Amino acid sequence: MARYIFITGGVVSSLGKGLASAALGALLQARGYSVRLRKLDPYLNVDPGTMSPFEHGEVFVTDDGAETDLDLGHYERFTGVAARNTDSVSSGRIYSNVLDKERRGDYLGKTIQVIPHVTNEIKDFLAVDGDEVDFMLCEIGGTVGDIEGLPFFEAIRQFGQDRERGQCIFMHLTLLPFIKASGELKTKPTQHSVKELRSIGIAPDVLVCRSEHPIPKKEREKLALFCNVRPDAVIAANDLRSIYEAPLAYHQEGLDQAVLDAFGISPAPKPKLDKWDDVVDRIHNAEGEVKVAIVGKYTQLEDAYKSIAEALTHGGIANRVKVSAEWIDAEKFETGNDIAPLLDGYNAILVPGGFGERGTQGKINAARFARTRKIPYLGICLGMQMAVIEASRNILGLEDAGSEEFDYERGHNNYTHVIYHLKEWVEGNRTIKRAVTDNKGGTMRLGAYNATLKPDSQVAKIYGTTDISERHRHRYEVDIEYRDKLEKCGLVFSGLSPDGRLPEIVEIPDHPWYIGVQFHPELKSKPFEPHPLFADFVRAAVDQSRLV
């Protein structure tokens, strides 16, 4: 039976609970334990799938098709454990389940209340697969005191009471602000946060304190005294140059030992941190630098493309170079002016996914620039669509080629040649069909799908196989009817669905590196196991930098 670690936050949000959870999971793995990480979000959306990237950052997709919080990406990148649909839940999903049960009559006519019905639903979620691993780490979104988070805090309090003594511990992450005028770290906000937590029946066993400055011994002792934790369970979380230093930094601070002590596990296996030493060494001792332009529509918020940013870092780790990624608003390329001044000097261009027509002409122009200037290009999801439409317009000569997605937004019949359509696909034993009038939430082609690569293609050489599985998140597919015409013009369909109906990858063989993929390879990349496409994309960027 798993031991449970509940990670809560206080004082302010965005302190790094997800990163701390992921790093702790990696440290427990390094000691030989199996782990699983979960996220409980208090917002009322059923999942983040329909939320704007400006609201919630990127949507991380699991193999089984769940649209989840970006913290699950951290969990996977640090532990290598593939997340599942059962590893992410929101208030919206919890309340939806409860109301569905009420409508079916499962509660036998009883009055439905937050306690016990909502809290029981949360506890049932926590208990799923609890016998599979040694440790289950559960992060609670938001901060203690948030009104929408109260059912989750009450549920984890009850869960800790229901389990045998010593099966659950609580880790609380807070902020120690530094007052520059007095030159002091202030502990009072943390004291009040812990007081708030204890008022709802939860006493933290481990206190992780985020700070821009080292925590003096005097302040550690004060925190231990007033927050009722052991002095060696007050853990400093200082700013780092790279997030991949976190496992080593937390280990040096004694986080993993404090957690094991809280469970009474002694003696504990010694950790094996060689792979993290290697990752950090490759980051801090890079032997070169490449510049990659990311031409997107949500560039004001880097979290909108979090997994892409990290996958590029992983590609740099694989090639022992620093990847300097610069975010460029695609709408800057739509004016009709020469875009060369904006893109000259970059060693590679990446066009990521997105929805809607805004910024698409700029992405098409970026794809054309990369194609004609022989600059390495990686198009992901919508970035592949832009590459196909660009080739259709400028190589094949179909000047009004477009997508059904944009056609629908404009009111239909705007494009003579609609290259992208809503298509049906096979999922297990079912054929899935979609219409533009469908609900938006959870209606895309989501999760892992297989693809067959063309032998001797560039992507087959990169992957080292002709059979792959990658994660998807999109509605529109390339019309296979245009395949022959485009291939005669040099755009090869080098990856298809196993039934040959859905194009998955396109490439230009006589280009140094020009690949578009319908899926999201960034979702499976890890620092100690970079995704092959990103590793080779950065390699191509290194080669390009040597030509300049």
Q: What is the dihedral of CA 213, 214, 216, 221, to 10 degrees?
A: 100
> Contact at 8 Å (CB) between 68 and 48?
yes
Confidence bin at 301 (pLDDT 50/70/90)? low
* Averaged pLDDT for residues 26-54: 90
What distance in Å separates the CA atoms of residue 135 and residue 492, rounded to the nearest whole number? Answer: 47
What distance in Å separates the CA atoms of residue 485 and residue 392, rounded to the nearest whole number? Answer: 9
Q: Does domain 289-547 have CATH number 3.20.20.70?
A: no
* Averaged pLDDT for residues 359-384: 92
- Answering whether pTM is above 0.85, one says yes
Quick one: what percent of the chain has pLDDT higher than 90? 70
What distance in Å separates the CA atoms of residue 404 and residue 302, rounded to the nearest whole number? Answer: 28
138: annotated active-site residue = no
* Averaged pLDDT for residues 150-166: 95
Q: Is 289-547 in the same CATH topology as 3-91+130-279?
A: yes
Identify the pLDDT of residue 329. 86
As beta bridge partners, residue 417 has 401
Confidence bin at 304 (pLDDT 50/70/90)? confident
Res 526 pLDDT > 70 = yes
Identify the residue with better confidence: 417 or 311: 311
Identify the pLDDT of residue 283. 97
> Contact at 8 Å (CB) between 15 and 175?
yes
Q: Tokens in use for 370?
A: 């990369």
Most confident region among 26-30, 46-50, 500-504 by mean pLDDT: 26-30
Instruction: Map residue 325 onto helix, strand or coil.
Output: strand
Confidence bin at 81 (pLDDT 50/70/90)? very high
* Averaged pLDDT for residues 207-226: 93
Furthest C-alpha separation in the chain? 75
Which one of the listed residues 314, 474, 520, 531 is annotated catalytic?
Answer: 520
Amino acid letter, residue 544: Q
Q: Tokens in use for 458?
A: 């560039």
Please give the angle made by the CA atoms of 309, 35 and 124, to the nearest 5 degrees. Answer: 105
What pLDDT, in 10s, does the model give residues 470-522? 999 987 888 888 899 999 999 999 999 999 989 999 999 999 999 999 999 99
Identify the pLDDT of residue 142. 92
What distance in Å separates the CA atoms of residue 38 and residue 69, rounded to the nearest whole number? Answer: 10
522: annotated active-site residue = yes
Res 398 pLDDT > 60 = yes
CATH number belonging to domain 3-91+130-279: 3.40.50.300
Q: How many other CB atoms are there within 10 angstroms of residue 86's CB atom?
A: 15
Handedness of CA 366, 367, 371, 375 (dihedral sign): positive
What pLDDT, in 10s, does the model give residues 434-469? 555 454 444 678 999 999 999 999 999 999 999 999
Identify the pLDDT of residue 450. 95
DSSP H or E stretch at residue 77: helix 71-79
> Contact at 8 Å (CB) between 506 and 416?
no
Quick one: what percent of the chain has pLDDT higher than 70? 90
Res 408 pLDDT > 60 = no
What pLDDT, in 10s, does the model give residues 227-264? 999 999 999 999 999 999 999 999 999 999 999 999 99
Amino acid letter, residue 105: G
Amino acid letter, residue 205: D
Identify the pLDDT of residue 439. 47
| Angle of the 71-79 helix axis to the 17-30 helix axis, nearest 10 | 20
381: annotated active-site residue = yes
| Domain ranges, ordered by start, for the chain | 3-91+130-279, 289-547
As beta bridge partners, residue 206 has 171
Average pLDDT of every residue of the chain: 89
Please give the angle made by the CA atoms of 394, 395 and 399, to the nearest 5 degrees. Answer: 40
Most confident region among 149-163, 176-190, 292-306 by mean pLDDT: 149-163
* Averaged pLDDT for residues 152-164: 96
Burial of 359: CB neighbours in 10 Å, binned 0-12, 13-18, 19+: buried
What pLDDT, in 10s, does the model give residues 340-352? 888 889 999 999 9
Which one of the listed residues 381, 474, 511, 531 is annotated catalytic?
Answer: 381
Handedness of CA 201, 206, 210, 212 (dihedral sign): positive
> Contact at 8 Å (CB) between 352 and 380?
yes
158 Cβ partners below 8 Å, 6+ apart?
119, 123
| Three-state secondary structure string covering 175-209 | ECCEECCCCEECCHHHHHHHHHHHHCCCCCCEEEE
Res 114 pLDDT > 90 = yes
Which one of the listed residues 154, 404, 477, 522 is annotated catalytic?
Answer: 522
Name the nearest CA neighbour of 9 among 47, 36, 40, 48.
Answer: 40
| Angle of the 306-319 helix axis to the 274-284 helix axis, nearest 10 | 90
What distance in Å separates the CA atoms of residue 15 and residue 404, rounded to the nearest whole number? Answer: 41
Strands (E), 32-167: 35-41, 60-61, 67-68, 88-90, 135-140
Identify the pLDDT of residue 503. 92
Of 148-152, 201-205, 477-481, least confident by mean pLDDT is 477-481
Of 29-33, 74-78, 244-248, 395-399, least confident by mean pLDDT is 395-399
What distance in Å separates the CA atoms of residue 544 and residue 548, rounded to the nearest whole number? Answer: 7
Name the nearest CA neighbour of 141 among 43, 35, 72, 53.
Answer: 43
> Contact at 8 Å (CB) between 346 and 535?
no
